[in-house]
Structure 1
Amino acid sequence: MAAKKSQQFDPVKTLAEIEEKFEMFQILNEEGEIVNEEANPNLSDEDLQELMRRMVYTRILDQRSISLNRQGRLGFYAPTAGQEASQIASHFALKKEDFILPGYRDVPQLIWHGWPLEQAFLFSRGHFMGNQMPEGLNVLPPQIIIGAQYIQATGVALGMQKRKKDAVAITYTGEGGSSQGDFYEGINFAGSFRAPAIFIVQNNQYAISTPREVQTAAKTVAQKAVAAGIPGIFVDGMDPLAVYAVTRDARERAIKGDGPTLIETFCYRYGPHTMAGDDPTRYRTSDIDSEWEKKDPLVRFRKYLESKNLWSEEKENEVMEQAKEEIKAAIKKADAAPKQKVTDLLGIMYEEMPFNVKEQMDIYKAKESK
């Protein structure tokens, strides 16, 4: 009787088979045409218009924030143009009771969740009043430490789970953040305990100047979910309908007790990494910029809405003017805030002030009284 032939395991082939399964999910193509009718979330006309309004408003906010930064009227600022579908459409799928743990580029989601615009400006200036969130607003201030919000989101999600809340914790980072240990620890722990969390990686192609292909050998960030035993989705991050649909579905699964989801939004930032001296022309070509400008989420969504007679140049101009007026009023409020003093920071840092801080408090009180 012939011996049974043993099968040889091919790990390289297995990896290739896994990676091939992570195809980019898309509903709306670059021409504003529905290419995946079955997956269309079928938002109402009013919701489609509101989503577009928020995206246009956010683009104006980005433009004005860059201008204010150059004037010296804002401090730290990370541009958002190009990522409106990734940011605003994902937020559009959330509820007020959901908790947002943002990265430093994710100011727009916080504003649409209820963070007053003038406080966002104060946060940029490093003023403590910018971090004094209104009562009932379920957000944390933008995280500056790369990837740290992933660990925090898992903790918040577990707290919601224990309290039996019908809500999720959602967090954002860039593809550079997916290289941090906190990223892996966060998704692994959340997966182990089936925490109601949504982890979004906004793959905008460059972690400062490091291109995405140098960041990881993986073909997608989404496939890293496999190691944590959770669903991973690779979505066209310039397509508002696709981003909304996958975030909505991830929220529904989380609420039902099916655990977290990792979503990679494949997108692009048109501006620099931050306004703190980054020059994208040193590591990006004009050809690459031009290629991604053709995929602009606002242009794509505008074409779609115009084809349904839901949008016009007049509507867009109204939104732009409203945004400019509200931003003008908000920066005026921020300018009127009391000048921040060292004693303010020392006074709010501890419930019971240590002796060495008391000594510093006395020193600065004397300086500030002069």
Structure 2
Amino acid sequence: MIRKLFLILFALFAFTAQSQAQDDIQLADTLIINGETIIMLGDSVIILRAEQPKYWKKGGNFNLSIQQVSLTNWSAGGASNMALNTGVNLFANFQKDKKIWDNNLTVSFGFNRQSDRRFANRKTNDNFVFISKYGRELTPKWYLSTQIDARTQLLSGYRYFRPSGAELDARTKISDLFAPAYIQSSTGLNYKREMKNNDKISVIGSPFTGRFTIVMDDSLSRAGAFGVIPGEVVRAEAGMSVTSSTDIQILENIRWKMDLNLFSNYEKLGNLVVNMNSVISMKVNRFITTRIETILIYDERVLITRSDETKGPAIQVQNLINFGIGVDF
């Protein structure tokens, strides 16, 4: 009998304690300040912070590859040499409500050194590309966008040759920083789509495009290089353009990025200026990667000195295959 009475009293005590705890929770004071929920329960203060929206996405990639060959008393012949190629790609993309602002910077540089020749250090890669695009959403996949595309190089560029009867190479300066520089501004419709695996496709068609060719080097300007009027620094053109950007995963650990820009002057519709950059990245592990980079340029106003010493427009192609360090951040 006493045991049953003890059990009943214990059950009543537990029920009363639980009811009191529930009453304490129900009577807790709740405040909301600047989106943060503050709960005060007795001597305890609980702060529940609202998740802050992230409008910016930032990141990039750095790659570096080095090759060295050293020969001493090598009977098979050859020459000691060293090659370096490096590059960095940075992006900062903003999206809020119906507004987007995408920014991308690519800088790459490479050189080759062969000690037994005149002008031992020779540039093999030198590119600076900055693209900024601002847009407002019309539909989930269509935007009205304005884009700025700026391209130049960092160091002087030379054409190397050996004059007839000479024993040593000579060189002629053919380009420099801001000689040339290309600035293109375009406004039009932008189709933009993002898929799984962070795959992205973007195409801008612009009937209103301004393109400016800048040659800041006096000697190149006087020669009328890159299509400017001899003695002038800037050549301005109006026309239409199509710009596309593709970033897709082909296979596991293999991605392909391609940027294509086509421009046609209204004075000569159909004569295209072509700029294409393609990069295939194959990751071995977190830090080791193989990159196949291809740059293709065609501009009929840029006269190229060919191997037979004739001058004229030509397709410019640069191919790079790098195996080395690649870090995403």
Q: TM-score, normalised by structure 2?
A: 0.25
Q: Tell me which protein shows more strand as a share of its residues.
A: 2
The higher relative CO (CA closer than 8 Å, separation ≥ 6) is in 1
Q: Tell me which protein shows more helix as a share of its residues.
A: 1
Over alpha carbons, which structure has the higher Rg? 2
